């Protein structure tokens, strides 16, 4: 598959408010036609990036490039971008059609052309029957689609979405996640989406940019970020990861060993040259997701697992499709969490039972302490 063309690039972008530095030399490349999500907790700098790209805030240092040209000082109205805000920002005195067509109106587009393009936008977001309603007569999901149609109609190069689903209930959010992704694929416009919700980012993005304390921690596909975290922050932010502390042992083939309180573990280090080169005895975490761990009555029942430990079940938590089993490996004071598909017969998971845990080396990653 041919690579996409580079659309937007941030080079060593920083932002300070007085003595407070909120962004620290951020480098980010956005490709034409991709859906990229900036993910992070409150205060991580993700919304500051969006505001600087949109022209609402000027960077303190660095460059913002569009098609290779510096637009850092370009006014908002000269940037070919549109923004969808969390509060929708609809005009209450205008109909749905009026709100959607407003951007074309202030650009001096002919009335007949506005009417045609508004009808097309309404059809795209499945709101054709609501053209004459006012915002107060709409549901939250309908308002969000109006805001999206208003952003799309001017055919921007980039659509910026600032936590646009945060005000919706859980079920509606899921519906809108699918709707947004489908719309983006249909119109092939670049979306830059800001959120603090990991599940939202994973379900929608082509790539995820994880931020913390004004710095990018990792950029990659949802699969990479979820299963191959590069930092302790990313491993902890995507909740339920088991982080096992230890010290580097020797390389073993294409894997690196780590010595822990309950024995030596083997971890994949593909794409991690710094982990291959790390000095023996240095500190690290082995990271393994709870759904990657097998649980059996005895180690002999574990299939294809290079890593095996004995443990005691300390808690069993049923949550519908899955059951979370909390365990304590023998010889350690850490908790290992195992996520299993739930079974109608309840499975024989008794608190206090002795079990064996196992996982493959390729399902375990190393991150520095």
Q: Which of 251, 245, 284 is nearest to 266 (CA)?
A: 251
Residue 207, CA distances (Å) to 118, 155, 239 in order: 31, 23, 19
| The dihedral sign for the CA sequence 337, 229, 59, 191 | negative
Range 217-247 burial, b when 16+ CB lie within 10 A, else e: bbbbebeebbbbbbbbbbbbbbeebbbbebb
- Give the containing element (helix H, strand E) for 367: strand 364-368
Neighbouring C-beta atoms of residue 289, cutoff 10 Å: 21
What's the number of CA atoms in the CB half-sphere (13 Å) around residue 359? 22
Residue carrying structure tokens 């913390």: 212
The four Cα atoms 44, 46, 51, 57 give a dihedral, to 10 degrees, of 30
Q: Per residue of the chain (369 residues), what is the pLDDT tens digit?
A: 456 899 999 999 999 999 999 999 999 999 999 999 999 999 999 999 999 999 999 999 999 999 999 999 999 999 999 999 888 889 999 999 999 999 999 999 999 999 999 999 999 999 999 999 999 999 988 999 999 999 999 999 999 999 988 888 888 889 999 999 999 999 999 999 999 999 999 999 999 999 999 999 999 999 999 999 999 999 999 878 999 999 998 888 888 999 998 889 999 988 888 888 888 889 999 999 999 999 999 999 999 999 999 999 999 998 899 999 999 999 888 999 999 999 876 667 899 999 999 999 999 999 988
Residue range 110-157, pLDDT digits in tens: 999 999 999 999 999 999 999 999 999 999 889 999 999 999 999 999
Query: Domains of the chain, with CATH numbers?
Result: 6-232 (3.40.50.300), 241-368 (2.40.50.100)
Give the pLDDT of residue 1: 44
Give the pLDDT of residue 361: 94
Distance CA 164, CA 85 (A): 6
Q: Which of 215, 187, 350, 332 is nearest to 265 (CA)?
A: 332
Q: Which of 32, 37, 139 is nearest to 88 (CA)?
A: 139
């Amino acid at each position: 598959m041919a690579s996409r063309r580079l659309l937007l690039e941030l080079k060593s972008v920083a932002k300070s408010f007085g003595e407070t530095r909120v962004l620290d030399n951020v480098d980010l490349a956005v490709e034409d036609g991709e859906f990229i999500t900036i993910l992070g907790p409150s205060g991580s700098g993700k919304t500051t990036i969006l505001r600087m790209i949109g022209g609402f805030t000027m960077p303190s240092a660095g460059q913002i490039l569009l098609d290779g040209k510096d637009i850092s000082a370009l006014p908002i109205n000269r940037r070919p971008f549109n923004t969808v805000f969390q509060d929708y920002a609809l005009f209450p005195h205008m109909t749905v059609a009026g709100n959607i067509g407003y951007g074309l109106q202030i650009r001096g587009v002919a009335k007949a052309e506005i009417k045609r393009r508004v009808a097309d936008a309404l059809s795209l977001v499945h709101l054709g029957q609501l053209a004459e309603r006012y915002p107060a007569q709409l549901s939250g999901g309908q308002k969000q689609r109006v805001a999206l149609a208003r952003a799309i109609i001017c055919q921007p190069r980039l659509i910026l979405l600032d936590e646009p689903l945060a005000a919706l209930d859980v079920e509606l959010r899921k519906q809108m996640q699918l709707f947004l992704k489908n719309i983006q694929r249909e119109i092939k416009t670049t979306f830059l989406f800001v959120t603090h919700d990991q599940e939202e980012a994973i379900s929608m993005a082509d790539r995820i940019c994880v931020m913390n304390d004004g710095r990018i921690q990792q950029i990659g596909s949802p699969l990479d970020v979820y299963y191959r975290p590069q930092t302790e922050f990313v491993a902890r932010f995507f909740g339920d990861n088991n982080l096992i502390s230890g010290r580097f042992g020797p390389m073993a083939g294409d894997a690196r060993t780590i010595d822990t309180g309950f024995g030596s573990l083997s971890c994949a280090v593909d794409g991690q040259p710094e982990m291959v080169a790390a000095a023996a005895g240095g500190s690290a975490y082995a990271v393994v997701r709870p759904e990657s761990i097998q649980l059996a009555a005895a180690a002999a029942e574990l299939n294809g697992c290079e890593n095996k430990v004995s443990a005691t079940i300390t808690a069993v938590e049923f949550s519908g499709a899955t059951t979370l089993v909390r365990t304590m490996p023998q010889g350690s004071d850490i908790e290992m969490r195992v996520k299993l598909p739930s079974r109608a017969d309840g499975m024989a998971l008794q608190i206090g039972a002795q079990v064996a845990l196992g996982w493959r080396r390729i399902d375990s990653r190393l991150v520095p302490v």
